Structures are given as structure tokens and as C-alpha cells.
Amino acid sequence: MISHAIAADGLVSPQEVRLACREGRLSGTTRGLAIGYVQCNLVVIRERYAYEFLLYCQRNQRACPVLEVTDTGDPEPKHLAPGADLRTDLPRYAVYRDGRRLPDLTSIKELWRDDFVSFLIGSGISFDQALEKAGVQTTQDRWVLRTSLQTVPAGRFQGPLVVTMRWLSPAQAITATQVTARFPFNHGAPLHIGDPTVIGADLMEPYFGPPVEAIPTSIVPVFWACGVTPQEAALSAKVDVMITHSPGHGFVTDLEASKLALP
Amino acid sequence: MISHAIAADGLVSPQEVRLACREGRLSGTTRGLAIGYVQCNLVVIRERYAYEFLLYCQRNQRACPVLEVTDTGDPEPKHLAPGADLRTDLPRYAVYRDGRRLPDLTSIKELWRDDFVSFLIGSGISFDQALEKAGVQTTQDRWVLRTSLQTVPAGRFQGPLVVTMRWLSPAQAITATQVTARFPFNHGAPLHIGDPTVIGADLMEPYFGPPVEAIPTSIVPVFWACGVTPQEAALSAKVDVMITHSPGHGFVTDLEASKLALP
């Protein structure tokens, strides 16, 4: 079992992380692993939904930065991690049938179909590392929230924009805005700063994090579009089968995060 | 007839340009019209090819920055120009059947089908204006060239990367690199500077511009990915019917070019 302590020391390459998943030695979070490499959210759906889903992502690029779409039936992400296998190389998968979540799996080899298409979507985990480097802590005071902002629909896919909220000091909020603006292909700059009610952020039922009763006056809430958005849209579209990474258990690519950033 | 002199003075809004096209008063180039607004390349194909084509664009984002895809059968680009009609609001259309170009049209109302999907793809005309503002002339010494670089295929769509080449002074090459890097969603920074043979640029048979015998030693050739690339891919895929803007006769959107640029 690869411990997070080892990972946090940056001793683990993307290849090592994926191999550990494939061999059943890693089923925990990828947060803190293979530091400096882009991690992706995974969405696997049938080809019959692929056009509408890709269109949905195109129309909501900020929340859904598609970094790779595999050929139909092919589990290899040839661009982001040649030789990898999306059926085995993530630590943990969430499986949905008709919008209902089934127990998580550590491999989806048994479920694989010839008409599956895999979408790899940029994850905030990638720029967390740039934030940490700039002195902005990323592990605490972080939420994933539904908002009252609506995404642009495409066919059967639609739904609310989901955001990541961080509680930062005013100075950190400024730094974080600058750092994340350098990642236009990975959520980019914040879409909102300050009063959560302006975007209708649902503080009482977060997807991630404890309910928020009150926001301390000393901090600034900062909001970014979140890669959970397309997953929620696919869920509410009730596609017959959808497989995703389990939250926090992303796909580690060979792409260096710095290559995704503007200078 | 709207003259280019009027246009060049910036007297024409996007709405006015589109109306002039619709009413048959403009069939000339859109270069220099509605300065400051994003212009787009248009590709109209049948829905049966739309997924593979969108995927091709996603895989070759630098050359194919998709800014909007309309709903099937709907000629209105709701995001970039609400109320506009892509069947009439461009000055001139190129029509292809089975890969063969037919005579240009000034309206495609007669050809329109319920299964047509329109792709609006970022055009270099948009950042020409930013270049001009920075003192880099854009009307002279500009070519569109095939290269020996191959794009990433998607289904039936594949082919060479097409580039825009400009001849600039060394100082202008540096300025132009900085200016265009601010447009990551519209071709972005140059992909090559200097020796054209490195990318196999075809200087003898340009798509646009005169054949190049020799490059003056005082200038630096600078190359950007070009929005003609996806059109060429669709052509060589021999889709049964494809309609595009006629070169230089783009679709003028309501989007301010500065909003597409990073600060």
C-alpha cells in the first residue's frame, strides 16, 4: 500500500501511481500523489450520449475543461498517458445506473463495453499544487457546492453550476486569483468572490465539506467552477450507465501541470 | 454597398455588418469590419458527422478553437450573436459536395437542412486587431500554408496542420508572440518561429499568398495554427455536404475580442 506520506514527499511518478492502482496496491485518494502532474476527473458513458456530452462540455468550458476524449471502446488515453488503462489505473470508481449510485469498484474491467467513451476533464487538484507553491493552503476550508447558476444545456444534459469554494485571507484571495488565472484550460480564475448568496451557493448541503452556518468576517470566500458539474449533468440526464472516478480518486496523467499553465 | 473605407473607420457594428449581409448589401470581405469584435470561421455539416468533427476540434484545439456549436437544425448562434441567422448573415459562403467546391453563394437558405450543425471557430482576424494595436502590421506579408505536421485524427477527420505565416521584424516577432499568447482560446502563441522547413511549411503552393522563392534574411517568419485546418480535414473526409465561410468572409459576432483575451 502506497501511503500518502510517501506520496506527499513527491516520491511517486504518474506511472508508479497508475501501476499501484492496476495492481490493487492503491485504493485511496490521489490528492498529494505525483505532485506536479495534471490529475483528471473521469466520465465514462456510451457513445450514443458522447456528442451531446462533448457539446455540453464545450458550452460550459470553464466547469468542464475536456483534456482528452478516448476513441470509442478504447480505454487508453493516448495523449495524456500513453500505455495507461482507464479501466484499472484509477484507485476507485463510482458506478451509476439510471442515475443511481452503486457500490464503488477498484477496477471496471468487468463492466467495460465496446461502445464506452471516456472523458478526461481537468481537475482542481492540478492547480492546488500551484496554489500551495504560492503559499495558499488547499487542504482546509474547501467545499464543493451547488449554485443557483444554470449551465448552458446541450440535448439531455443540463443542470446547475457546481463550484469549489475556498475560505482565504484577502491577501491569499488575490494571490489565488492570479495563480489560477494562469490555468485557462483548467477552470481558470475564480468566477466569484465574496457573498455566496450572489451565486446562490448552497451552504447547507455541500457535496463536499461540512454545512456552513456562518462565514467568519476575517475571510473571503472565493469560488471556482468545478469539474463535478458535468458529472451532475450526466447524472440528472439519467444515462443508463455512467462510470466516474470516485471523488478525490482521480486519474494521474503524464502531463506536467506547468505545461497547462500560461507563463 | 458598404465600402471597406467606412468599415475601416470602425463605423460598423456587428449587427450592422450582419444586416448588410442579410439584405444583400455586403458580399465582400469582413476583414477590417466591426473592428474589436471576434470574427469566426464557419463550418456547417450534417449531424451524423458532428461528434467526430467536434472531437477532431477538441483534439486539435490550437488550430480549431470552437467558440460555439449550434443546436441541430438551428441557424441561430445563441451565445455569440443572439438573433443572428447563420444562413444569411455572412457575406459569402463556400459550398462543397463530396469534397468538390461549387460556386460561392451569398445565402444558404435554399440549402439549409434540419440536420445541419454549425461550428463557429475562432479566426485569426480577431487577433489581427490586437496585433495592429501593438504596432504589428497584419495585411501584408501574410500566408496560409500546409505543413508536414499531422493533426490528431478523430474518426474520418484527419490531415495536415495548416498555419498562418507572417514575415515580421525580430522586434515585431517578439511583440506578436506576447500579444497572441493572450488569446489561448483563439490559436494562441506562435507554434514555430524561423526556418519553415522545420515544420515542412509548403512555401511553393500556399492556400493564400504568392509562392515564396526566398525569405529575406532581415525578417523572421512566424507561424500560428490556422482555422483553415478543420476545413481541410472535413474536405479530405469527403463529407457529402459541407458549407463554410468563403475565405476572408467570416461571421462577425457580438463578442468583443478583448473579452477573449487574458489580461
Name the closest residue on chain A to residue B155, using Cα atoms: A71
> Distance (Å) from the C-alpha of residue A51 to the closest C-alpha of chain B?
5
Q: How confident is the model at residue B128, as a pLDDT?
A: 84
Say yes or no: B200 contacts chain A, CB-CB below 8 A. no
Mean pLDDT (chain B, rounded): 90
Residue A209 lies in a domain: yes
What average pLDDT does range A213-218 have in this prediction? 90
| Grid cell in block for residue A47 | 457513445
Say yes or no: B36 contacts chain A, CB-CB below 8 A. no
Say yes or no: B51 contacts chain A, CB-CB below 8 A. yes
Residue B185 lies in a domain: yes
More confident residue, B213 or B69: B69
> Distance (Å) from the C-alpha of residue B174 to the closest C-alpha of chain A?
15
Residue B152 lies in a domain: yes
The Cα–Cα gap between B231 and B44 comes to 10
Residue A107 lies in a domain: no
Residues in B closer than 8 angstroms to A50, CB to CB, are: 51
Q: Give the least confident one: A128-142, A184-198, A217-231, B37-51.
A: A128-142
Q: How confident is the model at residue B178, as a pLDDT?
A: 92
Residue B9 has pLDDT above 70, yes or no: no
Confidence class for position B8, pLDDT limits 50, 70, 90: very low
Confidence class for position B194, pLDDT limits 50, 70, 90: very high
Tally of domains within chain B: 1
Confidence class for position A238, pLDDT limits 50, 70, 90: confident
Residue A144 lies in a domain: yes
Q: Which domain holds residue A166?
A: 127-229
Of A58, A69, A185, the CB nearest to B69: A58
Map grid coordinates 477573449 to a residue: B260
Among A45, A49, A53, A55, pick the best mutation site for testing chain B contact (most B Cβ within 10 A).
Answer: A55
Name the closest residue on chain A to residue B153, using Cα atoms: A71
Q: What distances in angstroms separate CA B156 from CA B52, B61, B233, B235, one per listed residue?
A: 7, 17, 9, 11
Q: How confident is the model at residue B263, as a pLDDT?
A: 65
Dihedral sign computed on CA atoms, order B181, B183, B185, B189: negative
Residue A219 lies in a domain: yes
B54, A58: Cβ pair inside 8 Å? yes
Residues in A closer than 8 angstroms to B185, CB to CB, are: 184
Residue A10 has pLDDT above 80, yes or no: no
SS3 B46: strand
A262, B181: Cβ pair inside 8 Å? yes
Among A47, A48, A51, A120, pick the best mutation site for testing chain B contact (most B Cβ within 10 A).
Answer: A51
Contacts with B262 (C-beta within 8 Å, 6 or more apart), sequence order: A181, A184, A262, B182, B183, B184
φ, ψ (nearest 5 deg) of residue B98: 50, 40
Query: Per residue in A114-145, pLDDT tens?
Result: 999 999 998 877 778 889 889 998 888 899 99
Confidence class for position B235, pLDDT limits 50, 70, 90: confident
Residue B180 lies in a domain: yes
Residue A4 has pLDDT above 70, yes or no: no
Among B54, B177, B187, pick the best mutation site for testing chain A contact (most A Cβ within 10 A).
Answer: B54
Query: Per residue in B69-115, pLDDT tens?
Result: 999 999 999 999 999 999 999 999 999 998 889 999 999 999 999 99
**Interface ipTM:** 0.83
Residues in A closer than 8 angstroms to B184, CB to CB, are: 184-185, 262
B220-225 β-sheet, strand order:
B142-150, B160-168, B220-225, B192-193
What average pLDDT does range B167-188 have in this prediction? 91
Please give the distance of CA A27 from its chain centroid, rounded to a whole number.
Answer: 17
Residue A230 has pLDDT above 80, yes or no: yes
The Cα–Cα gap between A133 and B102 comes to 57
Confidence class for position A36, pLDDT limits 50, 70, 90: confident
Confidence class for position A231, pLDDT limits 50, 70, 90: confident
Q: Which residues pair with A117 in a beta bridge?
A: A45
Q: How confident is the model at residue A2, as a pLDDT?
A: 42
Of B207, B262, B242, nearest to B111 by C-alpha is: B242
Q: Give the least confident one: A3-17, A21-35, A219-233.
A: A3-17
Q: How confident is the model at residue A263, as a pLDDT?
A: 65
CATH number at residue A202: 3.30.2040.10
The Cα–Cα gap between B103 and B57 comes to 27
Q: How confident is the model at residue A60, as a pLDDT?
A: 95
Residue A87 has pLDDT above 70, yes or no: yes
C-alpha count within 13 angstroms, C-beta hemisphere, residue A255: 23
Query: Per residue in B120-146, pLDDT tens?
Result: 998 877 778 889 889 998 888 899 999
Quote the pTM value.
0.88
Residue A119 lies in a domain: no
Instruction: Decide the pairing of beta strands B251-256 and B93-97.
Output: unpaired
